[in-house]
Structure 1
Amino acid sequence: MEFQKRANDALNVNGNTVNGRTSDINITTHGSDWYWAVCALMIVATMVFIGLGFRKPRTHRIFHYITASITMVAAIAYFSMASNLGFTPIQVQYRRSDPKVSGVFREIFYVRYIDWVITTPLLLLDLLLTAGMPWPSILFVILVDEVMIVTGLAGALVVSSYKWGYFAFGCAALAYIVYQLGWESRKHANHLGTDIGRVFLMCGSLTTFLWILYPIAWGICEGGNLIAPDSEAAFYGVLDVLAKPVFGALLLFGHRNIDPSRLGLRIRDYDEDPAVTGGSKGHEKGHTGNGVDGAHNGHSNGHNAATNDVPATTV
Structure 2
Amino acid sequence: MAFEKRNSALNVNGNTVNGQTADIHITSHGSDFYWAICAAMGFSTICFLALSLKEPRQNRIFYYITSGITMVASIAYFSMGSNLGWTPIAVEFHRSDPRVRGNYRDIFYVRYIDWFITTPLLLLDLLLTAGMPWPTILWVILVDWVMVVCGLVGALVRSRYKWGYFAFGCAALFYIIYQLGWEARKHARALGPDIGRTFLMCGTLTLVVWTCYAVAWGVCEGGNVIAPDSEAVFYGVLDFVAKVVFGCLLLWGHRDIDPSRLGLRIRDYDEDPAVHGGFAGERKERLNHPHPNGTNGVANGATEGATHGQNGTTNVV
In which range does the TM-score fall when normalised by the shorter chain? 0.7 to 0.9
Q: SS in structure 1 opposite 2:160?
A: coil
Q: What's the counterpart of residue 44 of structure 2?
A: 45
Q: What's the counterpart of residue 91 of structure 1?
A: 90
The one-letter code matched in structure 1 to 2:57 is R
Q: SS in structure 2 opposite 1:108?
A: strand
Q: What's the counterpart of residue 157 of structure 1?
A: 156
- Displacement of 1:3 in angstroms is 5.2
Alignment partner of 1:63 is 2:62 = yes
Q: SS in structure 2 opposite 1:99?
A: coil
Stretches (4+) displaced over 2 A: 2-6, 273-276
Deviations 1:74-129 (CA, angstroms, capped at 9, x unpaired): 00000000000000000000000000111000000000000000000000000000
Q: What's the counterpart of residue 3 of structure 2?
A: 4
Structure 1 vs Structure 2: percent identity of aligned residues?
A: 73
Q: SS in structure 1 opposite 2:267?
A: coil
Q: What's the counterpart of residue 181 of structure 1?
A: 180
The one-letter code matched in structure 1 to 2:62 is F
Distance in 1 between residues matched to 2:274 and 2:26, nearest whole Å: 61
The one-letter code matched in structure 1 to 2:197 is R
Distance in 2 between residues matched to 1:275 and 1:6, nearest whole Å: 58
Q: What's the counterpart of residue 136 of structure 2?
A: 137
Specify every segment of 5 or more residues in structure 2 that has no aligned partner in the other structure, as ranges: 279-317
TM-score (norm 1): 0.86
1:267/1:30 CA distance change after superposition, 3 Å: same
Q: SS in structure 2 opposite 1:107?
A: strand
- Displacement of 1:274 in angstroms is 3.0
Q: SS in structure 2 opposite 1:4?
A: coil
Distance in 2 between residues matched to 1:88 and 1:274, nearest whole Å: 54
Q: SS in structure 1 opposite 2:270?
A: coil
Distance in 2 between residues matched to 1:180 and 1:102, nearest whole Å: 40
Q: What's the counterpart of residue 216 of structure 1?
A: 215
The answer to which of 267-276 and 161-170 deviates more is 267-276
The one-letter code matched in structure 2 to 1:254 is G
Across the aligned residues of Structure 1 and Structure 2, the Cα RMSD in angstroms comes to 1.5
The one-letter code matched in structure 2 to 1:77 is A
Alignment partner of 1:20 is 2:7 = no
Deviations 1:235-274 (CA, angstroms, capped at 9, x unpaired): 0000000000000000000000000000000100111143
Matched positions, count: 278
Aligned ranges 1:276-295 → 2 under 5 Å: none
1:5/1:256 CA distance change after superposition, 3 Å: farther
The one-letter code matched in structure 2 to 1:26 is H
Distance in 1 between residues matched to 2:122 and 2:271, nearest whole Å: 30
Alignment partner of 1:229 is 2:228 = yes
Q: SS in structure 1 opposite 2:107?
A: strand
Q: What's the counterpart of residue 240 of structure 1?
A: 239
Distance in 1 between residues matched to 2:161 and 2:6, nearest whole Å: 41
Distance in 2 between residues matched to 1:236 and 1:13, nearest whole Å: 24
Q: What's the counterpart of residue 80 of structure 2?
A: 81
1:275/1:86 CA distance change after superposition, 3 Å: closer
Q: SS in structure 1 opposite 2:99?
A: helix
Q: What's the counterpart of residue 294 of structure 1?
A: none
The one-letter code matched in structure 2 to 1:58 is R
The one-letter code matched in structure 2 to 1:52 is L
Distance in 2 between residues matched to 1:58 and 1:123, nearest whole Å: 21
Deviations 1:6-25 (CA, angstroms, capped at 9, x unpaired): 31000010001111111000
Distance in 2 between residues matched to 1:106 and 1:262, nearest whole Å: 49
- Displacement of 1:4 in angstroms is 2.4
Q: What's the counterpart of residue 269 of structure 1?
A: 268
Distance in 2 between residues matched to 1:252 and 1:115, nearest whole Å: 21
Q: What's the counterpart of residue 29 of structure 1?
A: 28
TM-score (norm 2): 0.86
Distance in 1 between residues matched to 2:207 and 2:4, nearest whole Å: 40
- Displacement of 1:5 in angstroms is 4.0
Specify every segment of 5 or more residues in structure 1 that has no aligned partner in the other structure, as ranges: 280-315
Distance in 2 between residues matched to 1:275 and 1:167, nearest whole Å: 52
Aligned ranges 1:289-308 → 2 under 5 Å: none
Distance in 1 between residues matched to 2:272 and 2:177, nearest whole Å: 43
Q: SS in structure 1 opposite 2:269?
A: coil
Distance in 2 between residues matched to 1:222 and 1:210, nearest whole Å: 18
The one-letter code matched in structure 2 to 1:123 is L
The one-letter code matched in structure 2 to 1:270 is Y
Deviations 1:272-314 (CA, angstroms, capped at 9, x unpaired): 14369x99xxxxxxxxxxxxxxxxxxxxxxxxxxxxxxxxxxx
